[in-house]
Amino acid sequence: MIKQVKIEGLDCPNCARNLSDEINKLDGITNANIDFVKCKLSFESEDVDEALIKIVELTKELEPQAVITDKEASKKNNKFLILDLTFLFVGIALGFVLFFVKMPVWTYWVLYSVAALLLGWKTYLKAFKLLFKGIINENMLITISVVGASIVSEHMEGLMVIALYSIGKIFEGLAVNRSRRSIEKLVKMQPEYANLLVGGEEKQVKPEEVAVGDKIVVKAGERVPLDGKVCQGVASLNLQSLTGESVPVSKKVGDEVLSGSIVLDGVLTLVVTSLYKDSTISKIMNLVENASENKSKTETFISKITRWYTLGVVVLAVLVWGIVWAVSKDFNTALYRGLIFLVVSCPCAFAISVPLSYFSGLGNASRQGVLIKGSNFLDACANLNMVAFDKTGTLTTGQFSLEKITTFKGRTEEEVLFLAAIGEKGSIHPLAKAIVAACRKKRLPKPEKFKETAGVGVKFEYNGKKYFVGRKDKTLKNTAVELYENGAKLAVFELADTIKETSYQACSGLKEIGIKTVMLSGDNEESVQSVCQQIGLDEYHCSLLPQDKYAFLENEKSAGAKVGYVGDGINDAPSLTVSNVGFSMGINGSPASIEASDVVLVDDNPNKILTAIKISRFTRKIVWENIILSALVKAVFLSLGAAGITGMLWAVFADVGVTVLAILNSIRALNHKA
């Protein structure tokens, strides 16, 4: 059985990784994993309750400040923070006393020991507990450095090492928690209840209990719990948490409303159009919750290398000590420089900033209506140089509109439109619906002897005359409809799929950042070419079957292109899967296309592809800035320390300072506006 709980109080990814490794060694527990950024612990066990008891005991032993949460977890963590700050303040105060006040030797050593313990008791405790389990991490590096500084009589530097390290850890925790709180706002979008109408009375129920076709009431200040269509009321909605759109959107009778949006004023009555598990908000929650499972190559590499990094650092520090001792013949000097090497080499900057950068990027994209299923796909978006679009439902709305009427036999446009609408009223074909919508008559008479033939058209009688609405002339384009009366042609209706306004923005924006745009459609060349020219795409391919699209994408990838594919239908699933990054529509997209895709555009807006790419490129830039900055600073101070130019104090600044800078830089990915 799989169990997931919340774990709070862990202050670094290495701690989380070490703890999950030790949990996996417990009897009866498998696949334990701690998500450091989201503070979640998941594991598998046949006896979950017994396993949880073991996990809690182990956690108290290795990470006493960590809490397997209950509702009081945050308060407990605040108590730990206050305790840490108190010990830090007292320890630093004792350090000043030792530095400025002359005292007997025994008094000095007592106060020095107390100060060192107050400043680093948690670090030392972790170091030795993990050492007994065969794990060496940054806690051991700092502990060795403090002990070593004491041995070579650099007492004040020893205290400064542990004091600055502890201050750095507190700042790291505050920075990480800030990022966590920003991400958690997404999870809080989940509605807790729905106001279900039962017999004219409102009943508060869980969203999962509402069925399709039920009516719910959403009042001002409430979050829409399920997708639905307005059947009563007018209101302004805040969609910012879903789509990133800050301007309120007005909704009236007949309009679709997405779950997760907030009613700002008025009251809406909605007819529910999807179950909670299939609703927009549920899809968002699932994607946000699982996004951290798919890690980028960079993040995976950093995670793996830090497991062996610390042990390697210890070996190199011993090597530095040996070389300096051999050259200088001074044991204390050699030991001191080896200790500097240990302090500078702590892997915190890499281990924290890289996963935090990616999660900040994912959270930022989610806030702007782009759900990316993992940091690996975030990286893949940054590499795209071609985006291929499906046409209908992706670049166009999939809803047809009447563009032109050509009449014959002296008939007026209004007259032929009325006659065609009489017959088309009984059809469910999209072209038929467009003709009926174009007719301004509110009430249409019922046709006699109505008969619809799929792929041909409708036949009916009206006022003793026989009519046919469909297409007999095969030279006409697929979206043209003819009207015949007793065999004589009365009119030709030309219809067109409406292009989304955001499609124009998407195309121009992608071109500006150097990405080639292509349309792959199963429609005829005339309609595809028309849409392509209007939007300004670089290339189009028409009359394609799903396997043809698949083959095109494979060929482009073989030629070295990094291709993104955008689609919404079941037939797009193969293309979404084979592309480097598959983008699907979140509202009108089929479940198959959403499942097969790597990125979901919540509001079906093609321009959000540009948002995804810009955020991914910015996030990748942040990741490499952190890696290069950390590596460069450490390399410089390792060299200076080994040469005896800088002391241990600068080593601590190099380690803690660069870690805090890297974390603060990571948070920029959370606030970047694409």
Report which residue type is found at 632. Answer: L
**What are the pLDDT digits (tens) for 477-514?**
767 899 999 999 999 998 877 888 899 999 999 999 99
Convert 202-233 into a string of H (helix), E (strand) and C (coil).
Answer: EEEECHHHCCCCCEEEECCCCECCCCEEEEEC
Q: Is 390 among the residues known to form the active site?
A: yes
User: Which residues of the chain, if any, have pLDDT below 70?
Assistant: 11-14, 36-38, 69-80, 137, 172-190, 240-247, 280-310, 348-349, 351, 442, 454-455, 478, 588-592, 674
**Mind giving me the DSSP string for 273-323?**
-S-GGGSHHHHHHHHHHHGGGS--HHHHHHHHHHHHHHHHHHHHHHHHHHH
Quick check: pTM over 0.75?
no
β 599-601/581-585 pair status: parallel
**301 Cβ contact list (under 8 Å, min separation 6):** none
- Side by side, which strands form the sheet with 370-372? 370-372, 599-601, 581-585, 563-567, 386-389, 516-520, 539-541
How many CA atoms are closer than 13 Å to the CA of 583, on its beta-carbon side?
A: 31
Task: Dig out the tokens for 260 from the structure.
Answer: 């997760």
pLDDT value at residue 507: 93
How many CA atoms are closer than 13 Å to the CA of 446, on its beta-carbon side?
A: 2
Does domain 397-499 fall into CATH 2.40.30.10? no
Q: Right CATH number for 371-396+500-616 from 3.30.1300.10, 3.40.50.1000, 3.40.50.1450, 3.20.20.70?
A: 3.40.50.1000
Let me know if the fold of 2-71 is the same as that of 397-499: no
Query: Residue 200, class by beta-carbon neighbours within 10 Å (0-12 exposed, 13-18 middle, 19+ buried)?
Result: exposed
What residue ranges do the domains of the chain occupy?
2-71, 371-396+500-616, 397-499
Specify the CATH number of the domain 2-71: 3.30.70.100
Residues 305, 298: Cα–Cα separation, whole Å: 11
pLDDT value at residue 231: 92
Residues 430, 433: Cα–Cα separation, whole Å: 5
**300 Cβ contact list (under 8 Å, min separation 6):** none
Residues 647, 340: Cα–Cα separation, whole Å: 7
Active-site residue identified among 390, 523, 598, 603: 390
